Amino acid sequence: MLNKEIKEYIDRSVLCWLATASSDNVPNVSPKEAFKAFGDDSIIIANIASPQTIKNIKENNQVCLSFIEVFVQKGFQLKGIAEIITEEHEEYKAMKNSLEEFTQGAFPFKSITRIKVEKVKKIIAPSYKLFPDISEEEKIVEAKKSYGV
């Protein structure tokens, strides 16, 4: 499910957005800074400051996660089933080590959200469709100019 291209975009993306909903269908979208692919079917996210996300997942485990590489303005939307992983879980240590290696230990966390990916959809900026002759390289130059990089 998580092919090489998706994993590369995860590694190149700075933030992802995790959408959840409570049991009474109240939506919540939360930015997540510490996330990684875990195996070929899961995304793991450090629960740094996520009380509403955790509450919603416990009530309704269907989620949607989106991320883009900011300069290319392409990425993916992933839908799946989430679970909250705590230190009692057999894979917690491996997941925590992966996230701490990524963050260099900068963010404390006591639990992890694991998303088993069921559906994948590409995301591309609308300008690619409006201006089909634009290349990724031109998009990068344009984005860097816009962001003052």
Alpha helix stretches (DSSP H) within the chain: 4-12, 51-59, 92-103, 126-130, 136-147
pLDDT of 9 strictly over 90: yes
Lowest-pLDDT choice from 25-34, 39-48, 89-98, 102-111: 102-111
- Percent of the chain past pLDDT 90, that is, above it, reads 76
Q: Which whole number is the average pLDDT over 38-67?
A: 96
pLDDT at 139: 86
Report the mean per-residue pLDDT for the chain. 94
Q: Average pLDDT of 78-86?
A: 97
- CA nearest to 103, candidates 54, 65, 50, 46: 46
Cα Dmax for the chain: 52
Q: Which of 79, 89, 91, 82 is nearest to 120 (CA)?
A: 79
**Cβ distance 64 to 77 under 8 Å?**
yes
Q: List the CATH code of the domain at 4-147.
A: 2.30.110.10
Mean pLDDT, residues 29-57 taken together: 95
**Domain segments of the chain: what residues?**
4-147
